[in-house]
Amino acid sequence: MLIILGFSLVILLPIFAYLLHPLSSHKSHVFLITFFLFGGFTFNFVSNKPIFGSWKLSYQSDSMREIIDKNVEFPNKVTTELIFSKHSHEDSFLIGTEIFYQSLDKNSLVSAESILKFLNTSFSDPQFQVPIYNLLADLRDAKYPIISSSKILFSVEQPSFCNLDRLEVEISIPNGPDVDIANKTIFMPDFSQQFSLNGSDAVIKGFDIPSAFLNQEMIKIALSAYCKNLTFFSMKVLDLKYSKDYQEEVFIYSNEWLKKEQ
């Protein structure tokens, strides 16, 4: 906004000089043209429905940049004015998301977290929950880059008398949401090699293995081995509170497989 004011003043200086000069002619015409042009310009910027911008939006933009540069929390009043400047609930959420990522790009994590808290409380409809999980995951990865690379390693022995087609792994949180934090299907697995599951194997980004490590959750691991004529399963429970370096290793031995009824 200050740039616009300064630019306007520079434009008006020669007009003022012309109007104040004693030998200038057509002063009334110049004054009227100037009055209507800059009057319309000012009215446009203070209008609730401007054609090409407004003083209010310019001020909000300056305030937003200042808060992000200082890496401080967004005041509720500023956040409300910024995000709910649109009539559509979806458009308002997109504005909040844009502000969040601008904060994240500047590494202003305090500002990003305050915007995310506001979005989480203001957009409680189910349609916004998955996008908010995505934002939470991106903030978490920025704050805790080591945790973002956490994983669970598997060393598995093949069940006896099994000509294996595929192996399915599902990881969930007992008594938690009815959604796996990770699942993976491996066709024709090579049991001589370790395999792993990480954040990329999540059903919902943000509700994943890194979050389980961060919150030191108890997790349930279920494996299903699909053979030609038989199906086997095995289950383990891990307490991530005792994990080291945000990594756990799971061993499944051949005698730990149980036959699953068809």
Q: What is the pLDDT of residues 191-242, one digit of tens each?
A: 889 999 999 999 998 899 999 999 999 999 999 999 988 899 999 999 999 8
Average pLDDT, the chain: 82
What percent of the chain has pLDDT above 90? 50
Which residues contact residue 173 at a Cβ distance below 8 angstroms, ignoring those fewer than 6 apart? 181, 212, 217, 218, 219, 220
The helix-helix angle for 27-46 and 2-20 (nearest 10°) equals: 170
pLDDT(47) > 80: no
Give the pLDDT confidence score for residue 54 in this predicted structure.
47
pLDDT tens, position by position, 21-40:
565 565 565 556 665 566 55
Q: Which pTM value belongs to this model?
A: 0.69
Which residues contact residue 33 at a Cβ distance below 8 angstroms, ignoring those fewer than 6 apart? none
